[in-house]
Structure 1
Amino acid sequence: MISRYLRPAALLALSPLIIADHPVSPDTGYDILSYAVTLAPDAADKSVHGRETIHLRVDSPNLKKLIFSANALHIHHSMLNNSPVEFSSDSNGLSFLPRSLLHKGETVRLSFDFDGTPKRGIHAIPGGLYSSYFACDWMVCLQNSPGDKALLRLDLVIPAGLQSLGPGKRVGRKTLPDGRVSVRWQTRRPYSPYLYGFAFGSFVQQNASKGNGREVYLDATGGHADLKKLFAQTPAIVSFLSRKAGVSLPAGNYSQLLVPGYEAQEATTYSLIGEKALARDLTHPDEQWIIVHELSHQWWGNLVTCATWRDLWLNEGFATFMTAAWKEHRYGKAAYEAELDVARSRLAKARAAGFDKPLSWGGAYPSIGIRRAVQYSKGALFLDHLRQLMGDNAFWRGIRHYTRDHAGGTVTSADFQNAMQHATKRDLSVAFNQWVYGRP
């Protein structure tokens, strides 16, 4: 999730700005197992209403309350297992207060109705809406706990005659008595809540399947884009990244939704691609980044996810580096170095401003640009440094080992270090201490 050519107003809509204030995931005292949401969005006023059920396992003794990310939703008829449960809301979060303490190891079911108008992350498109990043504004979840991955089943209730996009795969569709349709989307593996999303509207759709999985191109701009031309490189990029990861397209299906503006955002099994950002790529082929960067997250970010935001570089540094690696594959070594030169320039600006931190740093950053200069750009440069230090064979062997071993799970910088050291049979602690941990 990054944009090189964003206007200042568009930059504010991108996701990473929020995590700057939450470097470490909150200790909630529980682990989410699954979310099941019935969601009826209203395109006229961007409001939502629906019902949600959360299954969770308590992992702290004598838990007094269940706290979720704060949002503007109104909660009704909340139940814990089969008993009513009190609810309160403030700027610190949404709290459900059990009548008695919850015990470690206990599995409970929390359910409730909700309605309201999300403050963030809902955008209008012709005939409908799409969500971007702030899932916990239109449902109840944990926005800043990337390590708490969970299954999601989303029943999206929309007007008849419209298309939809959701997390995972579409597994059902039924017509409701009032004439609307309910489309069921379901993930087959757990994902972090910041990746949850949906879209519905008057889409133009084209499919492309070339042995890498099912690839779907969707136009939500209301225009008449030549989708196969716009996304012509997608099959080749999927093939390239699959080889580098040692893992095929993780969910077996991947969609790219063309939306207005400069959007650049990965989601569970799809990406949001802003038509203006993509237009820049098509005008300057050797500077293309948006398709490969967001597609890279299907492996590094979605499949293998940083346990906390302090190790976000394992998501974003990887995607930035893989953009350079794709360019090397497609255009040659000079294109690889040119992409890394962009990262060098950004890091140099952060250093000139007196702010350079280790990759796995847990403090607050003074700006989004500086956070990106470290976790995106410096992360990519560190991967290039490892590549030179280890040699190509050992480096890519380590990347495959790391991705395969942690597929579907969460990771820390130490997990990545262990994988790379195993691949090269060398102690890489000097490099990791210098770049990642900031140790002497």
Structure 2
Amino acid sequence: MLAFALAVGTASVPFDVRHYQLLLQPELATRSVRGEERIDLDLLANGREIAFDAGALQVDEIRLRGRALQFRREDKRLIVDLGVEQPVQRRLSLQIRYHGMPKFGLEFHPEAGEIYTIFSTSQWMVAVDAPSQRATLDLSVVLPNSWRAVGTGDAVLIHHLDRDHDVRRWRLTTPMPSYVYGFVAGDLERAALPENGVALDLLADAAHAQRARTVFAATADVLSFFAEKAGVPYPHRRYSQAVVVDTIGQELAGLSLLSDAYVDDAANGKRTVGLIAHETAHQWWGNAVTCRDWNEFWLNEGMATFMTAAYLQHHDGEAAYVEAVNGWRERIDALRAKGADKPLVFPDWNKPSGDDRAVVYQKGAYFLHVLRGELGEKAFWQAIRDYTRAHMNASVQTRDLQQAMELASGRDLSALFNEWAYGARP
């Protein structure tokens, strides 16, 4: 694991979160949440204050070894005073109680009977948002007992709380970044999918379940394709997909979310399997092999965009790949024409624009296409396998990908990486 250090004053202590344990009680009617959380962490220096991300959550109490701690808010940060200076390598377990009404991150849809998480984990639990910070998770959620649910990690036996509610529980035993934690729950049906060595779950509401079976039928083939390209098997025991009211698509650990509208459009022939492939690709590139910080986000999204096109080449033929490449090139040309082109490695990733996202997604994918052409099929795919195997369940920087490409090809690729990744191409 990599450490996370937050520069909040001179007394902030770098630390490494090892494990989160959470009992979450969402309330659909009021769009609110209550949480009881334990965070196990190791201090990496002597000090007294540590800091977390906590969105707009209202923290009620923090305890350490039964003693109440002082804390304060600095915007979305939660600064915790440990009471006395603590020594380096001390293992601490903080107990936190909180409540709130998340505006995003935790989606409430009373009209559809659905609750689900999207990306901003610190909006519904106290966490560290940095992608380099990996920890295990024990997640319990209080839900109506008539609902179905899937979450990140392996499902644990359901605990019946009362006549109307169950506690659903999942354990994620492989350390993962907190932004891929989450769950989907609601008045949903399970739809069976063809399997090929990986257990599959598909949840959708009654209006979309039958169509979803058809739309998601290629899931097993998608998983097999990426496992072969990665040189690493799918990294979880089960892969779940859920069709929810509204999302542009979201990857979580062992779970992906797509929208009702996506299923409707795909069933009517308006879209392809591409978005399913994109979110599935993240199970390797993004979730397991994760950018070290957000300014190298292209290593997540550019890779998933490229791998989606590679799958479409396999699934639909060469023309589908060429169409994707042409689309990337056109978007890059448009960026350059308006002076919005940037290096793939950003100086920072604060309030990114739509053009910035195009750099990360489309330009990132196109650069991988360029590398594929330069290295040839054998060396390029060997590099992808070597890179993925070497950095599974770890954080990466662009230089890690460059090293893999150079070792596989026996070539110095500094000029290409300087041109595309580190400096905007003329």
Q: TM-score, normalised by structure 2?
A: 0.92
Instruction: Pick one of 218, 224, 232 that aligns with 2:203.
Output: 218
* Cα deviation digits, residues 88-131 of structure 1 (max 9, x gap): 12315111111112232221111111112112122234333111
Identity %: 34
TM-superposition CA deviations, 1:318-358 (whole Å, max 9, x none)? 11001110111122222101011121122222212212111
Could you tell me whether the CA contact under 8 Å between 2:211 and 2:263 is conserved in 1? no
1:154 to 119, 129, 139: 139
**1:153-204, CA deviations, whole angstroms, 9 ceiling, x for partnerless residues?**
1011112221111111102211125652111111121111111112211110
Is the 8 Å Cα contact of residues 208 and 215 (structure 1) preserved in structure 2? yes
Change (3 A) 1:214 1:358: same
Q: CA 1:430–1:334 in structure 2 vs 1: closer, same or farther (change >3 Å)?
A: same
- Of 254-263 and 244-253, deviating more is 254-263
Distance 1:392 1:179, change over 3 A: same
Work out which of the residue numbers 26, 29, 50 in structure 1 matches 2:35.
50
8 Å contact from structure 1 (residues 292, 323) kept in 2: yes
2:99 corresponds to 1:115: yes
Read off the aligned partner of 1:88 and give its amino acid letter. R
Name which of 276, 288, 311 aligns with 1:326.
Answer: 311
User: CA offset at residue 365 of structure 1?
Assistant: 6.9
Q: Note closer, same or farther for the CA distance 1:175–1:422 as it changes in structure 2 (3 Å cut).
A: same
Q: Tell me what 1:135 maps to.
A: 121
Does 2:308 match 1:311?
no
- Match of 1:337, SS state, is helix
State the superposition RMSD in angstroms.
2.1
Q: Is 2:216 the counterpart of 1:228?
A: no
Contact 2:204–2:242 (Cα < 8 Å) also in 1: yes
Contact 1:78 / 1:86 at 8 angstroms: preserved in 2?
yes
Instruction: Tell me, yes or no, if the aligned pair for 1:25 and 1:309 is still in contact at 8 Å.
Output: no
The alpha carbon displacement at 1:138 in A equals 0.7
Gaps of at least 5 residues in structure 2 are: 8-12
For residue 60 of structure 2, what is the aligned residue in structure 1?
A: 76
Structure 2 CA distance for partners of 1:330 and 1:179, relative to 1, 3 Å: closer
What is residue 10 of structure 2 aligned with on the other side? none
Deviation at 1:40, TM superposition (A): 0.8
In structure 1, the partner of 2:82 is 98
- Separation (CA, whole Å) in 1 of partners of 2:95 and 2:205: 33
Distance 1:25 1:293 in 2: 31
**Structure 1 residue 366: deviation in Å?**
7.3
Opposite residue 212 of structure 2, the aligned amino acid is L
Amino acid in the other structure paired with 2:126: V
Structure showing greater relative contact order (alpha-carbon pairs closer than 8 Å, 6 or more residues apart) = 1
| Residue identity matched to 1:402 | Y
**Displacement of 1:33 after TM fit?**
0.7
Distance 1:51 1:158 in 2: 15
For 1:282-301, what aligned pairs fall within 5 Å after superposition?
282-284=267-269, 287-301=272-286
- Structure 1, unmatched stretches of 5+, are 1-23
- 1:411-426 pair list within 5 angstroms: 411-426=396-411
Deviations 1:248-293 (A, max 9, x none): 1111311110012343111111111012134334444775421011
Residue 300 of structure 1: how far off its partner (Å): 0.3
Structure 2: distance between partners of 1:439 and 1:290: 28
Which whole-Å CA distance do the structure 1 matches of 2:240 and 2:308 have between them? 19
Q: Is the 8 A contact 1:70 1:91 kept in 2?
A: no
SS in 2 for 1:141: coil
Q: Does 1:184 align with 2:130?
A: no
TM-score by length of 1: 0.89
3-state SS, counterpart of residue 187 of structure 1: strand
C-alpha distance in 2 between matches for 1:66 and 1:394: 45
